[in-house]
C-alpha cells in the first residue's frame, strides 16, 4: 500500500476549480444568463415602485440582495447537473480523494463563476438605485462574504435534487428559506452603514455564517450526492 | 444494553407494534381532548385582560409547541437514519413532515385569529410569527423533496438530510429573525405582559396539550404504517398481510 | 360554567368570530389530514394488491405460453 496520496489535497482542489472554469468558459451562456437576470430584476424595481430617490435609496439594499439570491438560485442547477448526466460526477465520487475536497472545489468554482461577477456589477446597479454614499463599502463586503454562503447552502439543495428531472422548482422551495439569515444580516449591515453607524458586528456574523458553511455544508453536500448517485 | 431495541428495526415488527398502539393512542387522545376542550372552552375563567378571546390559547400554544417538537423528532429520526442506516427512519421522516406542517399551519391561523382582536391586525412581522412561517416553509420543503422521488429509499434519505440541515439552520433563523425584528419594529406591540396563569386556567391546557400530542401520534402512526408498506412492497410479509386483509373485506 | 346560555357561549364575550374561526379551521385541517392519512393507507394497500394481481397474471401467461410451445 502506498501511504502517500498521488495528489495533495491542494492539487486536487485547484485541479477541480480549473476544470470547472474551463467548462464555464466553453458554455458562456450559462454564466452570463444569471448575471443578466440580476441586472434585469434590479431594473424592474424602479419601474414598479416609481423613480422617487428617497424610496429607491431605502429599498436599495434589499433589492440588490434579493436579486442576488434569485440570481444564485438560477445558477444552482448547473453545479452538479451536467456532471451527473454524463457520469463524471460518479467518477469523482469514486476517486480516492475525499469528497469534501471535491465538493469544496466545485462550490468554490461556482462562486467564482456566478458570485464574483455579481459583486462587480452591484455598485453600478447601486448607483442607479441611489444607494447612500456611506453604504458602498458595506455592500461590497456583505456581497463578498455572503454570496459564498449562498453557493454553499444552494449546493446542498442542488445535490439533493440533481437526480430529479424538474428539480428547479423544488430546489427553490428547499433553498430559499435557508437563505433568510444571510439576507437579514446583509441588508441590515448595509442599512446600518447608510446611517453612518458601525456595522462590524453584523459583518462578523456573516463571516461566522461563512465559516460555518465552509466547514459543515460540504459534509451535507457529499452525503446528498451519495444518496443521489447510488 | 440496547439489544432489546433491535427487533423494532425490523419493518414487520414495527408495523404490527404501531398497529397495536394506534387504537390506544386514539382513545387517549379523544378522551383528553374532550375533557381539555370542554374545560377550557366552558369552565376556565376568562382572562382579566383578554376576556374570552384567550380561549384560543388552548389550541394555539399546543399547536405551536408541537410544531417545533415534531420537527425535532423528525430531525432525530433523520439523524438515526443517516448514522445507523435505518431504513425505517426515512419512513418516519416522511410520516412526520405533513403532520408537523398541519400543526404549524394551525398555529399560524389561530395566531392570526388571536392577533386580530388583541393587536388589531391579522399579521405582524413579529419574530415568533416570522420564524413559525419559515418553519412551515421548511416542512413544505421536506414534503416536496420526499414526494419528488419515485424511489422511496432515496426519498427518505434525501428528506432526512434536508431535515437535518434545517434543524441546524433553525436556531440561526430564529436568532436572525428575532434580531431583525428588534431593529425594524417601529411601533412596539405590547405583548400584554405575561399574565400569571391561575391553576384553573392551566389544568385544561395540560389536558389539551397531551390530547393534541396523542392526536399527532395517531396520525403519524397511520402514515408511518403506509410508508412502511410502500418501502417494502416486494417483501413476502407485505404480500401476505395485504391479501389477508383483502379477503377479510371480501367476506 | 362560565356562560349563562348557549348563545353566550357562541358569542364568547364578543370574540366569537375569532375563537370559532381558529377552532373551526383547526378542526377542518385535522379532519383533512386524518382523512388523507386513512385513505392514503387504504390506497397503498390497494396499489400493492393490484401489483400482486398483475404479477400473478403475467406469471400465468408466461406459464401458458411456455406450455403452448412445448408440445
Q: Which domain holds residue C41?
A: 6-69
Nearest Cα residue in chain A from B147: A170
Q: How many CB atoms lie within 10 A of CB A216?
A: 14
Confidence bin at B191 (pLDDT 50/70/90):
very low
Whether C10 maps to a domain, the answer reads yes
Tell me whether residues B169 and A216 touch, CB distance under 8 A: no
Tell me whether residues A181 and B145 touch, CB distance under 8 A: no
Q: What is the mean pLDDT of chain A?
A: 88
Structural domains of chain C, count: 1
B192 pLDDT more than 50: no
Tell me whether residues B102 and C18 touch, CB distance under 8 A: no
Q: Which pLDDT score, from 0 to 100, does residue B126 have?
A: 75
Confidence bin at B116 (pLDDT 50/70/90):
confident
A135 pLDDT more than 70: yes
Q: Which pLDDT score, from 0 to 100, does residue B196 have?
A: 56
Question: Which position has the higher pLDDT, B69 or B11?
Answer: B69
C71 pLDDT more than 70: no
| Long-range contacts of residues B136-139, Cβ cutoff 8 Å, at least 24 apart | B136/B101, B136/B104, B136/B105, B136/B108, B137/A173, B137/A176, B137/A177, B138/A177, B138/B71, B138/B166, B138/B169, B138/B170, B139/B71, B139/B97, B139/B98, B139/B100, B139/B101, B139/B104
Whether C25 maps to a domain, the answer reads yes
Distance from CA of B183 to the nearest CA of C (A): 30
Q: Which pLDDT score, from 0 to 100, does residue B93 have?
A: 92
For A156-178, the pLDDT digits (tens) are 999 999 988 878 888 988 999 99
Phi-psi category of residue B198: left, alpha or beta, with phi > 0 → left and psi -120 to 50 → alpha: beta
Nearest Cα residue in chain B from A205: B176
Whether C1 maps to a domain, the answer reads no
Domain edges within chain A: 9-229
Cβ neighbourhood burial of B191 (10 Å; 0-12, 13-18, 19+)? exposed
The dihedrals phi and psi of B231, each to the nearest 5 degrees, come to: -75, -25
Question: What is the rounded average pLDDT of the residues A51-70?
Answer: 90
Percent of chain B that is helix, strand, coil (3-state, to 5): 85, 0, 15
Greatest mean pLDDT among B40-54, B182-196, B214-228? B214-228
CA dihedral B229, B232, B233, B235 (to 10 degrees): -120
Which of A177, A180, A209 is the closest to B141 by Cβ? A177
Kindly tell me the sign of the dihedral angle through the C-alpha atoms of A139, B183, A206, A196.
positive
Chain C residues inside the 8 Å CB shell of B243: 49, 52
Q: Which residues of B215-230 are buried (b: 16+ CB within 10 A; e: fewer)?
A: bbbbbbbbbbbbbbbb
Which of C9, C26, C37 is the closest to B110 by Cβ? C26
For A1-60, the pLDDT digits (tens) are 455 556 788 888 888 899 988 888 888 888 888 899 999 999 999 999 888 888 888 889
Best mutation target among C9, C17, C18 (most B Cβ atoms within 10 Å) is C18
Q: Which pLDDT score, from 0 to 100, does residue B1 have?
A: 60
Q: Residue A104 has which C-alpha cell?
A: 469544496
ipTM: 0.84
Nearest Cα residue in chain B from A183: B176
CA C12 to chain centre: 33
Q: Which pLDDT score, from 0 to 100, does residue B169 have?
A: 82
Q: Which pLDDT score, from 0 to 100, does residue A119 have?
A: 92
Which of A173, A180, A216 is the closest to B168 by Cβ? A216
Tell me whether residues A181 and B134 touch, CB distance under 8 A: no
Q: Which pLDDT score, from 0 to 100, does residue A120 have?
A: 92
Tell me whether residues B148 and A227 touch, CB distance under 8 A: no
Domain edges within chain B: 15-186+202-250
Distance from CA of C53 to the nearest CA of B (A): 10
Scanning B29-68 for CB atoms below 8 A from C yields: 41-46, 51-53, 55-56, 59-60, 63
Question: Which position has the higher pLDDT, B35 or A3?
Answer: B35
Question: What is the rounded average pLDDT of the residues A99-103?
Answer: 90
Amino acid at each position: 500500500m502506498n501511504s502517500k496520496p498521488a495528489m495533495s489535497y491542494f492539487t486536487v482542489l485547484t485541479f477541480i476549480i480549473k476544470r470547472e472554469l474551463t467548462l464555464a468558459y466553453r458554455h458562456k451562456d450559462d454564466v452570463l444568463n444569471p448575471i443578466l437576470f440580476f441586472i434585469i430584476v434590479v431594473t424592474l424595481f424602479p419601474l414598479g415602485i416609481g423613480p422617487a430617490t428617497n424610496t429607491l435609496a431605502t429599498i436599495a439594499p434589499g433589492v440588490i440582495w434579493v436579486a442576488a439570491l434569485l440570481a444564485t438560485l438560477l445558477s444552482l442547477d448547473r453545479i452538479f447537473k451536467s456532471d451527473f448526466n454524463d457520469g463524471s460526477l460518479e467518477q469523482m465520487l469514486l476517486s480516492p480523494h475525499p469528497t469534501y475536497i471535491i465538493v469544496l472545489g466545485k462550490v468554490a468554482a461556482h462562486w467564482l463563476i456566478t458570485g464574483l461577477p455579481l459583486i462587480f456589477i452591484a455598485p453600478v446597479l447601486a448607483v442607479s438605485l441611489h444607494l447612500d454614499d456611506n453604504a458602498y463599502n458595506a455592500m461590497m463586503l456583505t456581497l463578498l462574504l455572503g454570496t459564498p454562503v449562498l453557493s454553499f447552502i444552494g449546493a446542498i439543495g442542488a445535490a439533493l435534487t440533481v437526480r430529479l428531472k424538474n428539480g428547479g422548482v423544488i430546489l427553490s422551495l428547499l433553498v430559499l428559506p435557508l437563505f433568510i439569515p444571510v439576507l437579514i444580516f446583509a441588508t441590515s449591515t448595509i442599512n446600518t452603514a447608510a446611517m453612518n453607524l458601525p456595522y462590524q458586528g453584523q459583518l462578523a456574523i456573516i463571516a461566522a455564517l461563512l465559516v460555518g458553511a465552509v466547514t459543515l455544508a460540504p459534509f451535507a453536500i457529499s452525503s446528498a450526492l451519495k444518496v443521489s448517485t447510488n | 444494553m440496547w439489544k432489546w431495541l433491535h427487533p423494532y428495526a425490523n419493518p414487520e415488527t414495527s408495523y404490527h407494534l404501531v398497529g397495536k398502539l394506534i387504537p390506544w393512542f386514539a382513545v387517549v387522545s379523544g378522551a383528553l381532548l374532550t375533557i381539555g376542550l370542554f374545560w377550557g372552552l366552558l369552565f376556565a375563567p376568562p382572562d382579566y385582560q383578554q376576556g374570552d378571546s384567550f380561549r384560543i390559547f388552548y389550541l394555539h400554544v399546543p399547536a405551536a409547541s408541537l410544531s417545533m417538537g415534531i420537527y425535532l423528532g423528525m430531525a432525530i429520526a433523520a439523524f438515526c437514519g443517516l448514522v445507523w442506516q435505518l431504513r425505517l427512519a426515512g419512513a418516519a421522516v416522511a410520516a412526520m413532515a405533513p403532520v408537523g406542517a398541519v400543526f404549524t399551519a394551525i398555529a399560524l391561523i389561530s395566531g392570526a385569529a388571536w392577533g386580530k382582536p388583541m393587536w388589531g391586525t391579522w399579521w405582524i412581522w413579529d419574530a415568533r410569527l416570522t420564524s413559525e412561517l419559515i418553519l412551515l416553509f421548511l416542512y413544505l420543503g421536506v414534503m416536496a423533496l420526499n414526494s419528488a422521488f419515485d424511489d422511496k429509499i432515496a426519498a427518505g434519505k434525501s428528506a432526512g438530510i434536508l431535515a437535518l440541515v434545517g434543524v441546524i439552520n433553525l436556531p440561526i433563523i430564529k436568532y436572525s429573525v428575532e434580531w431583525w425584528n428588534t431593529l425594524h419594529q417601529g411601533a412596539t406591540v405590547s405583548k400584554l405582559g405575561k399574565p400569571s396563569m391561575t391553576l384553573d386556567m392551566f389544568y385544561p391546557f395540560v389536558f389539551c396539550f397531551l390530547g393534541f400530542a396523542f392526536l399527532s401520534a395517531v396520525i403519524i402512526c397511520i402514515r408511518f404504517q403506509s410508508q412502511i408498506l410502500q418501502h417494502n412492497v416486494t417483501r413476502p410479509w407485505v404480500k401476505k398481510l395485504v391479501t389477508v386483509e383483502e379477503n377479510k373485506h371480501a367476506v | 360554567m362560565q356562560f349563562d346560555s348557549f348563545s353566550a357561549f357562541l358569542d364568547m364575550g364578543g370574540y366569537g368570530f375569532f375563537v370559532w374561526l381558529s377552532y373551526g379551521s383547526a378542526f377542518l385541517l385535522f379532519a383533512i389530514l386524518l382523512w388523507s392519512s386513512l385513505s392514503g393507507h387504504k390506497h397503498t394497500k390497494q396499489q400493492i394488491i393490484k401489483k400482486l394481481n398483475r404479477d400473478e397474471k403475467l406469471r400465468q401467461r408466461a406459464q401458458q405460453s411456455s406450455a403452448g410451445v412445448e408440445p
